[in-house]
A and B are shown apart, each in its own frame.
Chain A
């Protein structure tokens, strides 16, 4: 009975996110398709220019097509594994006191936004991935389709990790009020350490080793590298393991910050 209630409740939050994101269709279209398409085209053009300048057939052991495939997938997957909207929402609610309206409801605040994040990501990612899939099928850029489900599973699992970090940052709003800048810092750092800007294997050796050990690489580099054949199954398993450690760590930290924050929260807002 309790599981059914839990399931129904979270399914409701999940559907709520889908409905609210589809409300403004033009907005949705631009968010899910137009933006990442332009970004991926810019990045692909950059890689063509790099190969032209290098006058080489391979860079770091991979040919131009391999980099084009990476750049194409990376933009879309990076967008799927980043959390701006709900993190900002949570911070603002805590800062302005409108969280009161949610705290009095018979539900968990943590679940409320986690389910919404999953709903939002599933609708936008599901729609936006049509673009790279179409391009890959049309051009034959290297992609191992049999690896697609495992790579997407890691991307989905990584969302729990991203959300647990978001929850920690949002909880800091209990103590410092305006912490939106932390979200920006975190996402800018992720930009670099996930492998969104370029494949991590191009980095100097010592940095590459450090970044691959951290769970962040499972946001872009590991699933895309795995999908495009740059890396093998061992990296994928390592990705699942490091993300699990990350989830445990940040969930514990989030629970601690939330409890401490709730004790100090005066709730004088709306």
Chain B
């Protein structure tokens, strides 16, 4: 029952990946610049903390070596986000305005799947290589690091990514109801920015909110904490629940939005 469905979506995904690659290399300057942009972004994040740690030994409760690990986790999750969903969800509001959603809804595939993976940013695959390299290097800089703890990452990075996707998709889905939600996506980036800093810098009440109600703290801080600090089991358990929960919520929310959809192409 599940196998044919997986096969069908797997083949659609493969076709999309192939088409995306061809489309991206068509404009080579743009393709190269996209890769350079991401390197710039990583460099800016790293440079910021390297400069700040010239003037302090701790930010929150992490030192420079630990913050580098946090950045490694952040880069890995971000690489997944950039590769698979960023471009598609950023442009979704425009698609609704231009009436392109109608065509998509008539196709015999899950509309949420098609919106999420309409195009894959192949150039961002390089980000993943850079991110993983940085992460492994940062772990190797930790004194007496137990590499078995690194296994937490395999579990917690996908859940962090799922939470990120759930929130981002739900925000994008609002375009179906409100049409112009460009600024909502900027609000998302501000929320994401909260998650781009170690959660230990925040006051306890804000940290609690960032781990529960708006759980952007699960994106990078919690996975990084899993490899750096003694395990906080309730946070890890919540992280494992929150991933599927937010994806399920996004699917439910999408259906609710579609009920209120008024076609704009006809």
A residues bordering B, Cβ < 8 Å?
A: 24, 26-31, 34-35, 38-39, 42, 45-46, 48-54, 56, 59-60, 176-182, 184-185, 188-189, 191-192, 197-198, 202-204
**At the interface, is chain B mostly helix, strand, loop or mixed?**
helix
Tell which of A48, A52, A176, A184 touches B27, judged by Cβ atoms closer than 8 Å: A176
Residue of A nearest to B54 (CB): A202
Q: Is the CB–CB distance between A60 and B183 below 8 Å? A: no
Could you tell me the distance between the alpha carbons of A212 and B126 in the complex, rounded to whole angstroms? 33
Q: Is the CB–CB distance between A54 and B56 below 8 Å? A: yes
Given contacts A24-B180, A185-B36, are A53 and B29 in contact (CB under 8 A)? no
**At the interface, is chain A mostly helix, strand, loop or mixed?**
helix
Set of chain B residues within 8 Å of A180, measured between Cβ atoms = 30
Tell which of A24, A188, A204 touches B41, judged by Cβ atoms closer than 8 Å: A188
Given contacts A31-B186, A53-B56, are A197 and B48 in contact (CB under 8 A)? yes
- 5 A–B pairs (Cβ distance < 8 Å), ordered by A: A27-B180, A45-B206, A46-B201, A50-B59, A185-B40
Set of chain B residues within 8 Å of A29, measured between Cβ atoms = 183
Given contacts A27-B180, A50-B56, are A198 and B190 in contact (CB under 8 A)? no
Q: Is the CB–CB distance between A49 and B186 below 8 Å? A: no
Set of chain B residues within 8 Å of A182, measured between Cβ atoms = 33
Could you tell me the distance between the alpha carbons of A48 and B193 in the complex, rounded to whole angstroms? 17
List B residues 174-226 near A (Cβ within 8 Å).
180, 182-184, 186-187, 189-191, 193-194, 197, 200-203, 206
Set of chain A residues within 8 Å of B183, measured between Cβ atoms = 24, 26-31, 34-35
Residue of A nearest to B36 (CB): A185
Set of chain A residues within 8 Å of B57, measured between Cβ atoms = 53-54
Q: Which of A42, A53, A191 has the most CB of B within 10 A?
A: A53
Question: What count of chain B residues pass the 8 Å CB interface test?
Answer: 39
**Is B37 engaged at the interface, CB distance under 8 Å to the other chain?**
yes
Set of chain A residues within 8 Å of B201, measured between Cβ atoms = 45-46, 48-49
The minimal Cβ–Cβ distance linking B126 to chain A, given in whole angstroms, is 14
Interface string of B21-32 (1 = CB under 8 A from A): 000000101100
Q: Is the CB–CB distance between A42 and B197 below 8 Å? A: yes
List B residues 37-64 near A (Cβ within 8 Å).
37, 40-41, 43-44, 47-48, 51-52, 54-60
Tell which of B30, B44, B203 touches A192, judged by Cβ atoms closer than 8 Å: B44
Set of chain B residues within 8 Å of A52, measured between Cβ atoms = 58
Interface string of B138-176 (1 = CB under 8 A from A): 000000000000000000000000000000000000000
Q: Is the CB–CB distance between B52 and A198 below 8 Å? A: yes
Q: Is the CB–CB distance between A53 and B40 below 8 Å? A: no
Set of chain A residues within 8 Å of B95, measured between Cβ atoms = none
Could you tell me the distance between the alpha carbons of A178 and B25 in the complex, rounded to whole angstroms? 11
The minimal Cβ–Cβ distance linking B74 to chain A, given in whole angstroms, is 14
Could you tell me the distance between the alpha carbons of A53 and B61 in the complex, rounded to whole angstroms? 8
Could you tell me the distance between the alpha carbons of A24 and B27 in the complex, rounded to whole angstroms? 34
Q: Is the CB–CB distance between B37 and A30 below 8 Å? A: no
Tell which of B40, B182, B186 touches A189, judged by Cβ atoms closer than 8 Å: B40
Given contacts A181-B37, A188-B44, A203-B51, are A53 and B182 in contact (CB under 8 A)? no
Q: Which of A34, A42, A179, A182 has the most CB of B within 10 A?
A: A42
Set of chain A residues within 8 Å of B37, measured between Cβ atoms = 181, 184-185, 188
Q: Is the CB–CB distance between B193 and A38 below 8 Å? A: yes
Tell which of A35, A39, A59 touches B56, judged by Cβ atoms closer than 8 Å: A59
Set of chain A residues within 8 Å of B36, measured between Cβ atoms = 181, 185
Residue of B nearest to A27 (CB): B183
Could you tell me the distance between the alpha carbons of A180 and B60 in the complex, rounded to whole angstroms? 37
Q: Is the CB–CB distance between B193 and A42 below 8 Å? A: yes
Residue of B nearest to A48 (CB): B201
Set of chain A residues within 8 Å of B180, measured between Cβ atoms = 24, 27
Closest 4 pairs between A and B when the two form their complex, measured CB to CB: A181-B33, A53-B58, A30-B183, A49-B201
Set of chain B residues within 8 Å of A31, measured between Cβ atoms = 183, 186
Q: Is the CB–CB distance between A59 and B182 below 8 Å? A: no
Residue of B nearest to A175 (CB): B29
Set of chain B residues within 8 Å of A49, measured between Cβ atoms = 59-60, 200-201
Could you tell me the distance between the alpha carbons of A206 and B194 in the complex, rounded to whole angstroms? 31
The minimal Cβ–Cβ distance linking A87 to chain B, given in whole angstroms, is 14
Could you tell me the distance between the alpha carbons of A176 and B40 in the complex, rounded to whole angstroms? 21
Q: Is the CB–CB distance between B59 and A30 below 8 Å? A: no
Residue of A nearest to B40 (CB): A188
Could you tell me the distance between the alpha carbons of A202 and B37 in the complex, rounded to whole angstroms? 24
Residue of B nearest to A52 (CB): B58
Set of chain A residues within 8 Å of B44, measured between Cβ atoms = 188, 191-192, 197
Residue of A nearest to B206 (CB): A45
Q: Is the CB–CB distance between B27 and A35 below 8 Å? A: no
Could you tell me the distance between the alpha carbons of A189 and B51 in the complex, rounded to whole angstroms? 16
